[in-house]
Amino acid sequence: MKWNDLTSNKPFITNLDKLVKVKIDEDKELSGRYAVWQPTDDKRHAIVEVSSDLSYLINKYKVNPTMVFRVNSSK
C-alpha cells in the first residue's frame, strides 16, 4: 500500500525515536518524541502537537494505534 493511500485524510502519529524540537508556527516550538499529523484542507498533513506521551496523543486526537509510525533514521 502506498503512503498517501494509507494516510489520506486521516490523522496519524510519527514516533521520532528520540526527543526533538519542532517549530509549529513562527513563534511556537514544541519538544517531544511523538508528532501528531492532522489532515489539512488542501489534502496534505500538518503537525499539530508534539509530546512524549503517546497515550495522551492517541486519546486526544482519536488516532487509531495502527496509525502510529516509526520514523526510520539513518545513522
At residue 52, the 3 state secondary structure works out as coil
pTM: 0.79
Q: Residue 63 — pLDDT band, cuts 50, 70, 90?
A: very high
Q: In what order do the strands lie in the sheet with 12-25?
A: 45-51, 28-39, 12-25, 68-70
Q: Residue 61 — pLDDT band, cuts 50, 70, 90?
A: very high
- Beta-strand pair 45-51/28-39: antiparallel
The answer on pLDDT for 11 being more than 80 is yes
The distance from CA 52 to its chain's CA centroid, rounded to whole angstroms, is 12
At residue 36, the 3 state secondary structure works out as strand
At 13-54, the pLDDT tens digits run 999 887 777 676 677 776 788 999 999 999 899 989 889 999
